[in-house]
Amino acid sequence: MTFSDIHTPVLLERCVELLAPALARPGAVLVDATEGMGGHSEALLERFDGIRLIGLDRDTDALRIAGERLARFGDRVTLVHTVYDGIAAALAGAGVERVDGILFDLGVSSLQLDEADRGFAYAQDAPLDMRMDQTAGTTAADIVATYGEGDLRRIFERYGEEKLAGRYARAIIAARATAPITRSGQLVDILIAATPAAVQREGRGHPAKRVFQALRIEVNAELAVLERALPAAMDALRVGGRIVVMSYQSLEDRLVKRVFADAAASTAPAGLPVELPEHAPRFRLVVKGAELATDEEKAQNPRATPVRLRAAERVREAA
């Protein structure tokens, strides 16, 4: 079995197309901020034989697999175990000041979803873990065991946009008073039991879907990390460099949209008759709005179904 048999990169051809103008420069440097199993990186290294890759990931299993997959590219590849808000330190450690392309493929990786014992999937019973980096940090079981009702409700509402957040928080508090909740199957049963029959008949999705998303985001501090990572990544781009971001849920996409819009806006005071160079936008948006996967891509790779892709190019240095 080859790597391509177990991992189909999302929107691969579109990512290559968008990054191509930036990676055509001799000696170009690409950062894959979410290396995963290396599918996007492999294709880009193959098609642009002069580029150097710096791949970041917090998941040591993913880095091991990517290392095997990309070994044939030798010293063109540097893999770093770090969360992607550590991009500045990773570049400094690699002796790189500016880069030409940056790719973020956010959310849960294929590896994390497919390994049942990671606890990301509500459809499979497993330890309630959900850490992307299994070497450190708080697990989902820790959160379920220690957060008060108000904090559980807050994360379910904020990160899961769950309408039954309060009801689910109360159900978890009541259940854990009887026995520890340590497995995903236990939590799923609690959530299903707490969901009114009328709501289940509405067909709005599995009762656990939004709660599991919220717990995953909380465990990995995904939004806080992304909010720090995007400006740091954009600061690292040279003029003409491009950044491509793929997100899979609305909270991430709204954050990316806001950061890109701010970077592509003039900072000139209102009413100024002439825009001074120091107020000109630092970036331009390469795609209009958020691009979606085609029906053909969704059929070939169901994990592309919720993707939202945005891209921007640096057009001037900071003032």
Name the binding residues.
38-40, 57, 84, 105, 112
In the chain, which ranges are continuous DSSP H helix? 3-6, 12-23, 39-47, 60-69, 87-93, 110-114, 140-146, 149-160, 165-176, 184-194, 197-202, 209-220, 222-236, 250-263, 295-300
276 φ/ψ sector (left φ>0, alpha ψ -120 to 50, else beta): beta
∠ CA 305-293-120 to the nearest 5 degrees? 30
Question: Running DSSP on this structure, what letter comes out for residue 273?
Answer: S
How do 308-314 and 237-247 pair as beta strands? antiparallel
Question: Which residue bears the tokens 């979410």?
Answer: 34
Identify the bridge partners of residue 103 per DSSP, sorted by sequence position.
32, 244
| The one-letter amino acid at 27 | G
Residue type, 311: A
Instruction: Provide the angle, in degrees to the nearest 10, between the axes of the packed helices 165-176 and 184-194.
Output: 120
Q: Say how far apart CA 79 and CA 67 lie, in whole Å.
A: 7
Binding residues for S-adenosyl-L-methionine: 38-40, 57, 84, 105, 112
Tally of CA atoms within 13 A in the half-sphere of 225 that contains its CB: 20
